[in-house]
Amino acid sequence: MNSKRFIIGFALISLFLIPAASQFVSSETSEITVSDNMGAITVQTKDLTVKIIPGQAHLVWWYGNATTADEMYKVQLVKITEFMGDDEILDDHTELGGVTYNLITSSWTYDIVEGTDEVTITLSLLGLPNGADMYLIMHIYTVDTPIEGSDQVVDALTELKFDIIVENWDFSAMAAGYAIQTYLTEVQHRHRVQLRNGTLAENGNTTRTMQFTSESYGEDAVAYMEWTDFANIYDSGDELIDTIDVGTAYFDDLISPPTEAPGFAEGLAHLFLTYANYGDGNKMVHDPIIGVNADAFTAGLSLYLIPVFSGLAAIAAVVSIIRRRKN
pLDDT in the model for residue 98: 93
C-alpha pair distances (Å), 40 with each of 35, 48, 141, 247: 8, 16, 20, 31
Q: Phi and psi (nearest 5°) for 2?
A: -65, -40
Instruction: Write the pLDDT tens digit of every residue in 109-149.
Output: 999 999 999 999 999 999 998 999 999 999 999 999 999 88
pLDDT in the model for residue 17: 41
Query: If you write DSSP's letter for every residue of 82-146 in order, what string do you get?
Result: EE-SSSSS---GGGEEEEEEE--STT-EEEEEE-SSEEEEEEEE---TTS-EEEEEEEEESS-EE
pLDDT in the model for residue 321: 55
Residue 172 neighbours by CB distance under 10 Å: 14
CA–CA dist 280, 152 (Å, integer):
29
CB burial of 242-269 (b: ≥16 within 10 Å; e: otherwise) equals: eebebbbbbbeeeeeebeebebbeebbb
Residue 172 carries which side chain, given as an amino acid letter? S
Sites in the chain below the pLDDT cut of 70: 1-29, 252-268, 300-327
Instruction: Write the pLDDT tens digit of every residue in 190-214.
Output: 999 988 889 988 998 899 999 999 9
pLDDT in the model for residue 29: 38
C-alpha pair distances (Å), 270 with each of 93, 151, 181, 259: 12, 26, 7, 11
Rg, the chain, Cα only? 24
pLDDT in the model for residue 312: 52
Which residues lie across from 286 on neighbouring strands?
164
pLDDT in the model for residue 8: 42
pLDDT in the model for residue 293: 95
Q: Torsion angle, CA of 47/217/181/279, rounded to 10 degrees?
A: -60
